[in-house]
Structure formats: structure tokens, C-alpha cells
Amino acid sequence: MIYNKITLIFFSVLYSVISSAQNGWTYFSQSNSPLPENSVRSIAFANDSAVWIGTDYGLAKLKDTIWTIYHTFNTNGGLPDDAIRCITIDSNNIKWIGTLSGGLTQFDDSTWTTLNTLNSPLPDDYVRDIKFDQTGNTWIATTNGLVKIDTAQTWTNYNTLNSSFASDNIARIFIDPDNNDKITGTVNGGLNIINDSTITTYTIANSAIPDNSILDIDKDVNGNYWMASPANGLIAKVAGGGWFNLNASAGYPSSGLTSLKITDNGDIWTGTVDSGIVRKSGLQYSVWNSLNSPLTDNYIQCIAFAPDGKLWIGTQSAGVYVMDVSLITVNYEISSSTFITYPNPVTDHLFVFGDFKNDLQLQLVDVEGRCQKVQVEKLSIENYLIDLKNISAGIYLLNTSESSGKYFSKKIIKIN
């Protein structure tokens, strides 16, 4: 491996922190802070309490109340490109920074070490993600394949030519903490699961995954992989087998997701392209956007939870917002769901999931109020299956009622 070691030459841009706070919210933008650009792509937290922020025009470090701004011009080329796409910090507090067109650079707070297509086997200079697995290997996502650098500094490239990958454009890497599997989301190539000996690729062509583009991945305590899809909302690969999908048609607040994080209590937080921040807590959806919160941009490019539990939010055009979840006492419920139907639109079989405490009665009614004959199978007290094969295409209302007297309804679209 060839390293391009550059002695650090830069001038620090030091400022006192300026922010605006409102009801548990703080924000930083070009208008009120030294943030170099309002389009924020990545946020990472170092073990020295510093926050690192990657933007479309420069890298920012915020520690305590002091900002330091890094550009290509004030690092003497140490930062190879001002368009930052990812930041990952290793156990030695070294910052690994992926860029749009300059490859990646490692920064130990004094020296920059750059890897690109000219001085290494890196297959592309567009680096979208960097992760470290449990055995010390480094994994790098590029737009021209996935790279593994093992502890002996041996490089292995995975792509459509030498593996089952369906796309070389790798968007995200998730290291499974339970088994060290590498889960990679792609653009237009579905999901890859890599273990020590095999690669399994899931696409629309060979599985029930509802979208071939996956931009973020996390895992819940039940072993389910949850994924952010840019066109089909929230996707789950269920641990026991099968797939689950929540999008706008199924009542989820947005179908365009960019980022995803699962907290210890099981809540699923997603950033969207059009609806701000969405939290899924059980069957309840809470939304924070420009209509009901200090957020002024509903296009969220990244989210990250800090060690203190605050949610940092990178937007497309309004900088960084910090949400102190512990201080948010108002639950902004723009879209909530008492039960979930899937799929919707539906062709043959409709699944109904809910936090039901008693047996459920279900009734399907057409637009003229006529009750339709359907076969209902109770899978459990919380899960029901409705056979709609003999129902004509159209719009219906599914009415549900529990023996306790609770009554709910939801629009169902039946297609052929």
C-alpha cells in the first residue's frame, strides 16, 4: 500500500459557538455559526467530545464552544476534496473521511493520510461509507464496489464482476454486532449479506424486498434488519423469514427515506426527503418538520445520536439541528396508526397488525357503504389475514372493532 503522508499545514478558524435554541432544539447554519456549508452529509462523534460535521463544502469540528474548519486550501491539500460524504472515527480517534471525488483521508488531528485511485487499489474516488468489523478489518463503500482491507493490509474488492452483487454502487455498510456479518445497501442493487464464506444478494428479482435501493441499515433487538429506502419507505428483513414494508400507502408519513437509527428502547428514527424526522414507536408515528417544529428544511440527509442521547440532524439546505429528545415534551403527531395493513395497495391477501388486546371484528366496506364478503383468518390476537382474491379492484374502508368497544378504520386500495 502506498500512503500519501502530508504534514499538517492549516490555519484553524476558531470561533465562539453561536446557536439558536428553542424548546429543546439547537441549530447551526451559515447564518449563525462558522458552519462552512448548509448542506450537511455526515455527522460523527469523537471520544474527546468533539463533533465532526461533513458538508458539501468543507469539514467542521465543534468541540465545546470552538469551531475548526478544514478545507483543501487551508490543509495544503491534506483534505483531498471539500465535498464530504462520510465520517467514521475509529477506536484510536482517527477520523476516516470519505469524499465525493478525492478518495478517503485519515486524520489523526495532526497528519492527513490520503488513499485514492492513484496511490492504492481503491476502485473509485467517490467514498460513501467506511466501517470497521469486529476482527479489525476495514470496509469501504464506493460507487465502484466494496473494499475490504484486512489486518495484514491486504485489499479485496467485491463487485458485480467477481461476486453476486447486483450493483457496484454501495451506499451503506452495517456491521452486525451479533455475528460480524457485513450488511451492505446499494443503489439499484438491493441488499448484500457477507459473512466469512458466502455472499447473499437480495433484489426485487429474487426476493420480496420492495426496493433495490437501500440507503441506511440498522438492527433491532429481535434480530430484524430495518432499512431506509429512497422510494419505498421503511423496509424490514424479518429475522424469522420474509419482508415487511411501511410506506406512504401503508400509512407511514413518507416513502422517501435517507437515514435510519434504532434506539435502545426500540424506537426507529428516520430522516426523510419531504417530511422531516419520523419516529416509529410501536404503532405510533411522530413527525417533526417545518410545520410543527423549528426545522426549516424537511429534506434530511443524515441523522446521528450523540453519546448524550441528543439527535443531530443534517439537512440539505438549513445546516445542522440538534434535538434534545429528553426535553421534547410535545409529541407532534402528524400521522399515527392504531393498526397496520400490508401490503396496501393489495392484490390478494391483506395482513392486519395491531396492538390489539381483545379479539377483532373486521368489516370491508366499499365507497357506497356496502359490506363485502371476505374470509378472515386470525393468526394471533395481534395478527389477522384477509383474503381479497374475489374482491373487485377499487377503494374500500376497512373497519375494525375490538370486543372492548374500540373502533378504528383505514382506507384500503384493491388492485388486480
What pLDDT, on a 0 to 100 scale, did the predictor assign at position 408?
Answer: 65
pTM of the model: 0.79
Q: How far is CA 341 from CA 53, 63, 357, in A?
A: 39, 46, 17
Task: Show pLDDT as tens, one digit a residue, over the chain (416 residues).
Answer: 333 333 333 333 333 333 444 679 999 999 999 999 999 999 999 999 999 999 999 999 999 999 999 999 999 999 999 999 999 999 999 999 999 999 999 999 999 999 999 999 999 999 999 999 999 999 999 999 999 999 999 999 999 999 999 999 999 999 999 999 999 999 999 999 999 889 999 999 999 999 999 999 999 998 999 999 999 999 999 887 889 898 887 778 889 999 999 999 999 999 999 999 999 988 778 889 888 889 999 999 999 999 999 999 999 999 999 999 988 754 444 334 467 788 888 888 888 877 676 777 788 888 776 788 888 888 777 778 899 999 999 888 887 766 655 556 678 889 98
Which residues are within 8 A (CB) of 115 and not within 5 positions of it... i.e. 6 or more apart? 1, 3, 4, 103, 104, 105, 106, 122
Which residues are within 8 A (CB) of 210 and not within 5 positions of it... i.e. 6 or more apart? 204, 229, 232, 235, 243, 245, 247
By DSSP bridging, strand 300-305 and strand 4-7 are unpaired
d(Cα 122, Cα 127) in Å, to the nearest integer?
9
Residue type, 168: D
What pLDDT, on a 0 to 100 scale, did the predictor assign at position 406?
Answer: 55
What pLDDT, on a 0 to 100 scale, did the predictor assign at position 361?
Answer: 79
What pairs with residue 141 in β-bridges? 129, 146
Neighbours of 323 (CB within 10 A): 24
**Residues 1-21 as b or e (16 or more Cβ within 10 Å = b):** eeebebeeebeebeeeeeeee
d(Cα 63, Cα 47) in Å, to the nearest integer?
11
d(Cα 85, Cα 96) in Å, to the nearest integer?
11
